[in-house]
Amino acid sequence: MSKLVSQIPTLAARLIQESKPKLNTFMKYAKVELTPPTPADIPQIRAGIGRLISSAKNGTWKNLTVREAWLNTLVGIEVLCWFYVGECIGKRHIVGYDV
């Protein structure tokens, strides 16, 4: 046990050294992907929603490839999961509401 305790500083230093490149990559993408929308993004969001609605009305969604349809399904599932995570955070319980 004392041998393990004596190796903790070297293991911690190695862990930090090994994780720095991955953490830098994560931070690079997190700064871009995890930022909230700015007021300049609102016209693009509205245009995207408009294209989505017109695509649903015109039936152009039928021309999607299987890959595009699968990716759209995964994005929809991700949004749904984030909704449920937000619900659990908001009600502070995993199951049911506090009545």
Domain assignment of residue 49, yes or no = no
Identify the pLDDT of residue 71. 94
Domain assignment of residue 50, yes or no = no
d(CA 74, CA 69): 9
Mean pLDDT value of segment 3-19: 87
Domain assignment of residue 97, yes or no = yes
Domain that holds residue 99: 65-99
Cα torsion through 70, 27, 49, 59, rounded to 10: -20
The total number of structural domains in the chain stands at 2
Domain assignment of residue 44, yes or no = no
Token pair belonging to 45: 């969001």
- Using one digit for the tens of pLDDT, what is the confidence trace for 17-46? 989 999 999 999 988 888 888 899 999 999
- Using one digit for the tens of pLDDT, what is the confidence trace for 33-90? 888 888 999 999 999 999 989 988 998 888 889 999 999 999 999 999 989 888 888 8
Domain assignment of residue 43, yes or no = no
